[in-house]
Amino acid sequence: MTDSAPSSQEYLDQELARRQKLQQLQAKGIDPFPARVQRSHTIAEALVAYEAGQLDETPVQLTGRLVALRIMGKLSFGHLQDGTGRLQIMVRRDLLGAERYNDFFKKLVDLGDIVAVQGPMVTTRTGEITCQVTGMTLLAKSLRPMPDKWHGIKDPEVRQRQRYLDLLANPEVRQVFRTRAAILRVLRSYLDGEGFLEVETPILQSVYGGAAAEPFVTHHNYLRQDLYLRISFELYLKRLLVGGYDRVYEIGRDFRNEGISHKHNPEFTQLEFYEAYTDYVGVMERTEAMLATVAQEVTGGYEVQWGEHILNFRPPWPRIPLRQAIFDACGIDYNEYPDADSLRTAMRALKIDAPIEATRGKLIDKLLGLFVEPNLIQPTFLVDYPVDVSPLAKKKVDDPLTVERFEGFVGGMEICNAFSELNDPIDQLQRFIDQGRDFEAGDKEAHPVDEDYVNALSYGMPPAGGFGMGIDRLTMLLTNQTNIREVILFPHLRPES
């Protein structure tokens, strides 16, 4: 017994039938996986050329997967699908040749095989544009049966573990990821057009920062050094402002070692941009313009169907002070509670779970998440956040407990976070030290001190506005999905047992 492929008895009947056909093909001298292929048009190109009257009787050479077969006596139909579309093929015994039709096409070709066909484009009696096949060659034999042609794949576990089956069986899934690509394309195009420079910064970091989150830890064997996977790009991008690039952005992956939910994946795609000589008000305006552009170009309009809601991305968005929003939602004015203990007492009086270890900022964040966020369906900005949960944002001149920060909410989710960037190195160091106290007190998400970053600020960073947005969540909104796994090709899943 070797570790080679299982014997034929171990295959289920359908795979066995296909493997027997594979052997028959090889016995006939036909390579079931040839290296070279001739193609004159993609399916989309062939359809366009035919409808434009450019083809006449000229044969085209097309390639793709056989996704439907209707075999009949002397004339059969099927559908061929490539990355650009789907086209009916008509296979006639008299045109293909009796032997090729009976002994190759009908006997040895299966649903799911990848083939090349050639022949002229015609229109059938029912009016469907069709390739009338005069030659067919196998490009790749499919050894496993295709999913149900009508129902596709529904089992969510199979859909995510074997995404290739999901994609090949469910066209609407293919469209989601095309839209995702379009969103990234439009965002880049918008930012490039506004003079932003796209950059790349380290994913492996010896000091993580820029967000409140627990990191993943990894290890460099030869340096004998623990490293963190980044939780944001922020501190590196602002070093570039110090370096003299006034407008920079990065699109890439962040990693946060936290819970998984319908709106959280351990790795997720983030856009951050930093713009010198503006502030959070300027960034709000840019956010509105940028997302209006994306909605317009990706969906064709400012109004986007999302579940039972129609989201309207037309600027401007309502701007509500966070304090006001929380007060309106639950009656607590957090300005009346200047420390964590008093706020906790007030929350508990309303039967709200308020953990003893939570800082005042964490408690406010909890009120936000509990009472405000789920109701912010239409694009809305909440503005002016407590300083203790915003260690990188500039304080308001008239209120040192509040920073110039906003978060954007759509569909009951936070999709972006932005502020006037703190560029005072002395204040920044003090904020890091205050965060260190929270960390000592048990807050694993408290921001660590990044001395090199403070050093960079001490050379002078221009006043700037910065912005971060979750691309996955934006994609959910623009593709009418309510689960982040539907917009990530290979979401994190537990290993199969």
Partner RNA sequence: GGGCCGCUAGCUCAAGUGGUAGAGCAACGGACUUUUAAUCCGUGGGUUCGGGGUUCGAGUCCCUGGCGGCUCACCA
Residues 285-344 touching RNA, rule: CB under 7 A, are: none
Q: Could you write out the DSSP letters of every residue in 249-314?
A: EEEEEEE--S--BTTB-SEEEEEEEEEET--HHHHHHHHHHHHHHHHHHHHSSSEEEETTEEEE-P
Q: How far apart are CA 82 and CA 221, in angstroms?
A: 45
Task: Give CB contacts under 8 A, 24+ apart, made by 289-296.
Answer: 289/315, 290/187, 290/190, 290/191, 291/379, 291/474, 293/186, 293/190, 294/183, 294/186, 294/187, 294/190, 294/474, 294/478, 295/478
Other CB atoms closer than 10 Å to residue 232's CB: what's the count?
24
Find the angle CA(91)-CA(94)-CA(98) to the nearest 5 degrees.
90
> Interface with RNA includes 377 (CB under 7 A)?
no
> Interface with RNA includes 483 (CB under 7 A)?
yes
Q: How far is the CB of 420 from RNA (least distance, A)?
A: 18
| Contact with RNA (CB under 7 A) among 42, 84, 160, 458 | 160
Task: Annotate each residue in 461-480 with x if it binds RNA (CB under 7 A) or - if it does not, as one string.
Answer: ---------x-xx-------
Other CB atoms closer than 10 Å to residue 206's CB: what's the count?
13
Q: How far is the CB of 118 from RNA (least distance, A)?
A: 17
Touching RNA, residues 94-153 (CB under 7 A): 94, 107, 110-111, 124-128, 130, 144-153
> Interface with RNA includes 437 (CB under 7 A)?
no
> Interface with RNA includes 14 (CB under 7 A)?
yes
Binding window for RNA (CB under 7 A); candidates: 261-269, 314-322, 422-430, 431-439 = 261-269
Touching RNA, residues 50-69 (CB under 7 A): 68-69
Token pair 């009976």 is found at 102
Q: How far apart are CA 41 and CA 120, in angstroms?
A: 12
> For the packed helices 471-478 and 171-193, what is the interaxial angle rounded to 10 degrees?
120
Residues 24 and 4 sit within 8 Å (Cβ to Cβ): no
> Interface with RNA includes 485 (CB under 7 A)?
yes
Binding window for RNA (CB under 7 A); candidates: 35-43, 176-184, 186-194, 410-418 = 410-418
> Interface with RNA includes 496 (CB under 7 A)?
yes
For RNA (CB under 7 A), the number of binding residues is 79
Binding window for RNA (CB under 7 A); candidates: 293-301, 323-331, 378-386, 413-421 = 413-421
| Contact with RNA (CB under 7 A) among 133, 173, 187, 211 | 211
- Smaller CB distance to RNA: residue 171 or 369? 369
| Contact with RNA (CB under 7 A) among 6, 29, 53, 73 | 73
> Interface with RNA includes 219 (CB under 7 A)?
no
Q: How far is the CB of 63 from RNA (least distance, A)?
A: 20
> Interface with RNA includes 221 (CB under 7 A)?
no
